[in-house]
Each structure stands twice: as C-alpha cells, then as structure tokens.
With several copies, the nearest count.
Chain A
Amino acid sequence: MKNIYLDNAATTRPAPEVVEAMLPYLGELFGNPSSKYYGVGQITRAAVQKARQQVGRLIGVNNISDNPDDPYEIYFTSGGTESDNWALKGAVMCKSKKHIITSAFEHHAVLETAEMLEKSLGCNVCAKQTACEVTILPVDSTGLVNPDDLRKALRDETAIVSIMHANNEIGTIQPIKELAAITHERGALFHTDAVQTVGKIPVDVNDLGVDLLSMSGHKFHGPKGIGALYIRKGTRLDPFLNGGGQERALRAGTHNVAGIVGMGVACELAMKNMEAEAKRERALVETLWQGLSDRIPKIHRNGHPEIRLPGTLNVRFEGAEGEAILMYMDMMGVQVSSGSACSTGDIKPSHVLLAIGVKQEEAHGSIRFSLSHDTTAEDIQYVIDTMPKQLDMIRQMSVTWKG
C-alpha cells in the first residue's frame, strides 16, 4: 500500500544523517558531559557545545564560544513545550510585573501555560496577589495579529508578550519584528514560539529582535524530545529545572547528548537545504491546492494565501467532518491531520480556525496537509488523484451535504 506522510507539522522523520550522528552517543560515547575531568565526559561536553553552535548559527547566534560551560544564548530543553512553558513561567514567576499578552491562535503550550498562570500562578493560597492577568489578542481572517491591538494592550505591568512566529495549523507568519519592537517600547519581554519556522524559513533572532524564542528538534528532521530556548543575553528569566547546575544552572538535568547532537545536525542540514526546499514545497503546495480545488467543489483555503509557511496547506471541505476525511485518506495510505481536536474527548473545533473566524460547523471539516523534505511530486499527485473519490463517499453519507 501507498504510504504518503503529509503530517510533517506534527512531526518529521529524522534525517538519516541525524540518526547516524546520534549513534556514537548511544554507544561508545556515552559519557556524562558533566564529568569534566576525564576523557569520555570531555568528548560529550564538546559534542554538546558543537551542537549548540549549530543551533545558534541557524537562528543568527554566531558567537557561541567553544567553552562547554558557556551555553551563551542557546539552552537545551526537552522540546518546544518545555521551551514555551519556561519562557512564560520564567518571565512572571519572580517578577513584579504580572500581565501577559498572547494571541488567540497560539499553540496550547503557550495558551494553557498562560491560562494556568492566570488562574493561580501555581499557588491558590495567595491567588489574588499572584495571579497574572492575561490579554488574548485577536487575529484577522488570515491569521495576522494587528500591531495596533498589541499597542493598545500593552501596559506598564506587562511582563511578557508571546506571539508565535508561524502557526502550526494554518501556517500564517506573524510580523514578529514589528510586534517585538512595539513590545520593547513598553519595556516588556518578547517571546516567540518558532517551533514551526526554525529550519523551514530564515529565522534570525537579532533581525526579529526577540528576547526569547522556542524551537523543537523533531519539527525539522531532528529527534523527538529535544528542543531549545533562545534567551537573549541579559534577559532576566528564572531557572526552570533546579539541580546539578547544567546549562548555567538555568536548566539542570543530565544532557540528552544524542538528542542534542541530532538536533545540531538537523540544524546544519536545514541551513544548507532551506532555500531550495522552501521553494520546492511552496510549488508543491500550490499544485496540491490547484489540483484539489479543480476537482472537488466547495472547498476553501484557511489562513493567509501568501504570508505563510511554504509547506503547510489547510483546507476546509464543506459537508464533511475532519476525522472521517482523515480516516478515509488513511485507508488510501495518506496521512494528514484534522484541524479538529475531536480526539481529545471534548469535541471542540480547532481554536485556531475559530480565531480566524471560521464558523464552528465549518471548522470541523478542515484538513491540514504539511509537507517536508521527504515529500515528492508523486505523493502530491496521488493525493490529487485519490482524494476526490474519498471525499465524495463521505459527502454522500453526510446529512449536511447538499451536492
């Protein structure tokens, strides 16, 4: 059977070069980087630092020294979720400013963290004194935050503004540079969740002007369970994991050496391939959209048609439900993702689609196609060829479809 994976925004296949680079660190070179004073520890210490440089270079941090005791501005974490949690919690926990601004279309790792902090700052004993206030900025129908909304929402007590770089469901890219500049005028920190952009489009922390930036290895052909938080020098952020002093005592815990090395190589590969790859994926996405919209009536494209990730396409199909589409496509060997959060028990449609003004009943029928380096033109053609029939089947069954 065909096996066409078009859910690369959920996770990607680690590149063979990545796995190969990891292997020695799962074998011979297993030493603990914290064991500085003997051989095998020194090798892994150096490997971690090399990966830090590779990660840094991908996001415009070029001056990381060879000294493994100097994480400089790249701190390794267990993934994008931890990076997001750290950025928000670390920015308000020990600070007197207790106002957070974020947007309606953030990833749950940001939204749920903000909500938790709004409830109690982790402490219901003195919730009144410590709870944060959270302002959620709206987005327009293409997914863009309006800089004026941010300007109005900022206060003297704003500790941090967190706006994601590109959205994981619809791919819209925010004007981060402008938003960060506005934020800094009012003295707040600016964080961006760049989990969907790092490795896919150029990301330069200095050009963007952000203080904090989250990334995750498995979104660009690195391994799962490894990520990083960029923390601009001078940013006051609380430690996230207390313990043995790793990562300059800000994020303790024995380093996931193999994961870190893998993420480093993934960064290097991304840097090399990015330009050509983005162009290729952008063309494939257009082919896919044209092919589908020519063959399937009443379908709509969600998100911004231009200011978006090259490899992500979100389509709404009238008269069909997302999970059903997903499962009928799976029967044909095509793996996509449904915008609906149906699976989580409460049958809520995607908060992202609602945020851009898609109606509840429409949001359920949306599908995300996300491409990667592994996606071929044949894959796309196969989807164009098979999807119309599958969708017709579903619509024939549908109560709401009025062919």
Chain B
Amino acid sequence: MNTYSDKVMDHFQNPRNVGEVENADGVGEVGNPTCGDMMRISIRVKENRIDEIKFKTLGCGAAIATSSMTTELAKGKTIDEAMQITRASVAEALDGLPPEKMHCSNLAADGLHAAINDYRKKHGAGE
C-alpha cells in the first residue's frame, strides 16, 4: 500500500534520459517555477523518428518519474506516434498515479508535445 506504484518509484530512483540534448532539434518547456514544477524536454529527430530525448525537471517525485517515463515511451517513435502519447498513457505506463498527482503526468506529456511542435516549427513541418 504505497502512495506511489513500484514503477513510479523505479523511475524516480533511476530516472532515464536526464539532461539536455546538445543542439537539439526541438525543445519544449512547460510549467512554472512559481508553481513548483517546471520541465524541459529536448529531442533530436532523425528520419522523422525521435532519436534522442532528454529531460530536466524541477518538481516532485511524480514529476521526475513521469518525465522519465515519457522520454522512454517517446524514444524511437516517429513524430506522429509520439504525438499520440497522452497524459493518460504516461500515467498508465506507470501503473497509475495518486489522484492529486495527475497534474504532473500532464506536464510531461505537454512538454513532449511542446518539443515536437518546436521541432516542426523550426523544420517547416508545423501543424
């Protein structure tokens, strides 16, 4: 009977893909330090696929775990596939989040989408 699932704890304890992609093709920054959570996702795109993805986050345990999980889910996917990753699918992949933490899983998916949009804008493939 844990507040966080084992998957959340695993990603929290061993966060994947921490950092910044150098010379990223797209960067998404969401959240606000005033609210206590902020997140930056940077991606490198090769042949329309997410070749490299990294995150940095200021936030709670759930924020870290969802960031980590989101990067794992997105890695290797095509841009279009990655856009399908929703707030709900991240939470599901983590075996659920406490209700009051759903907000954080939103943040990570939002960050990913922002990064892809940034890439599209820069590379003329925008919506």
Write the residues of chain A forming the contact surface with B, with a CB cutoff of 8 angstroms: 36-37, 42, 45-46, 49, 66-69, 319-324, 327, 331, 340, 342-345, 347, 349, 359-361, 363-364, 396-401
Is B3 at the interface (CB under 8 A from chain A)? yes
Across the A-B interface, the 9 shortest Cβ-Cβ residue pairs? A364-B36, A345-B100, A323-B60, A46-B1, A361-B33, A399-B56, A360-B34, A327-B61, A398-B58
Report A-chain residues with C-beta under 8 Å of the C-beta of B103.
347
- Taking A42-B3, A49-B1, A68-B1 as contacts, is the C-beta distance between A347 and B37 under 8 angstroms? yes
Q: Is B50 an interface residue (CB 8 A)?
A: no
Q: Residues of A contacting B100 with CB < 8 Å? A: 69, 343-345
Question: Which residues on the A side are within 8 Å of B37 (C-beta)?
Answer: 321, 347
Q: Is the CB of A347 within 8 A of B35?
A: yes
Q: List 13 A-B contacts (CB under 8 A).
A: A37-B3, A69-B100, A321-B60, A324-B59, A324-B61, A327-B12, A327-B60, A347-B36, A361-B34, A364-B58, A397-B57, A398-B57, A399-B38
Residues of B close to A363: CB separation below 8 A: 36
Interface residues of B in 9-60 (CB under 8 A from A): 12-13, 15, 18-19, 29, 33-40, 55-60
Q: Least Cβ distance of A287 to chain B in Å?
A: 29
In the bound complex, CA of A396 to CA of B19 (Å):
8
- Taking a contact as CB atoms under 8 Å apart, the answer to whether A340 and B1 are in contact is no
Q: Tell me if B1 and A321 are in contact (CB < 8 A).
A: no
- Given known pairs A68-B1, A347-B35, the reply for A400 and B61 (CB within 8 Å) is no
B5 to chain A, nearest CB (A): 12
Contacts A42-B1, A49-B1: A321 and B34 contacting too (C-beta < 8 A)? Answer: no
B64 within 8 A of partner (CB): yes
Chain A residue, CB-CB nearest to B68 = A397
Partner of A400, one of B2, B3, B38, B98: B38
8 further A-B pairs in the complex, CB-CB below 8 A; given A327-B61, A397-B18: A42-B1, A49-B1, A319-B58, A321-B36, A321-B58, A327-B60, A361-B34, A399-B33
User: In the complex, what distance in Å separates the CA atom of A49 from the CA atom of B1?
Assistant: 10
Contacts of A342 in B (CB 8 A): 36, 60
Question: Is there an interface contact between B36 and A349, defined as CB atoms closer than 8 Å?
Answer: yes
Contact A399 B99 (CB under 8 A): no
Whether B57 lies near A323 (C-beta < 8 A) is no
Taking a contact as CB atoms under 8 Å apart, the answer to whether B63 and A321 are in contact is: yes
Which chain B positions have C-beta within 8 A of A343? Answer: 100
Bound complex: CA of A345 vs CA of B40, how far in Å?
A: 23
- Determine whether the beta carbon of A398 is less than 8 Å from that of B56: yes
A326 to chain B: closest residue by CB = B61
Is A69 touching B99 in the complex (CB atoms < 8 A)? yes
Centre residue among A45, A319, A340, A361 by max chain B CB count within 10 A = A361
Q: State whether B61 touches A37 (Cβ < 8 A).
A: yes
C-alpha spacing A45/B63, complex, angstroms? 23
Task: Kindly state the separation between the CA atoms of A399 and B58 in the bound complex, as whole angstroms.
Answer: 6
Most buried by B among A45, A68, A340, A399: A399
Contacts of A344 in B (CB 8 A): 100
Instruction: Name the distance in Å between B99's Cβ and chain A's nearest Cβ.
Output: 7
Q: Please give the distance in Å from A122's CB to the nearest CB on chain B.
A: 28
* Chain B residues in 8 Å Cβ range of A400: 33, 38, 58
For B12, the chain A residues whose CB sits under 8 A away are 327
**Chain B residues closer than 8 Å to A347, beta-carbon distance:** 35-37, 103
Q: Known: A42-B1, A319-B58, A324-B60. Contact between A397 and B15, CB under 8 A? A: yes
A321-B60, A345-B99, A345-B100 are known contacts. Are A340 and B2 too (CB-CB below 8 A)? no
Chain A hits for B29, CB < 8 A = 399
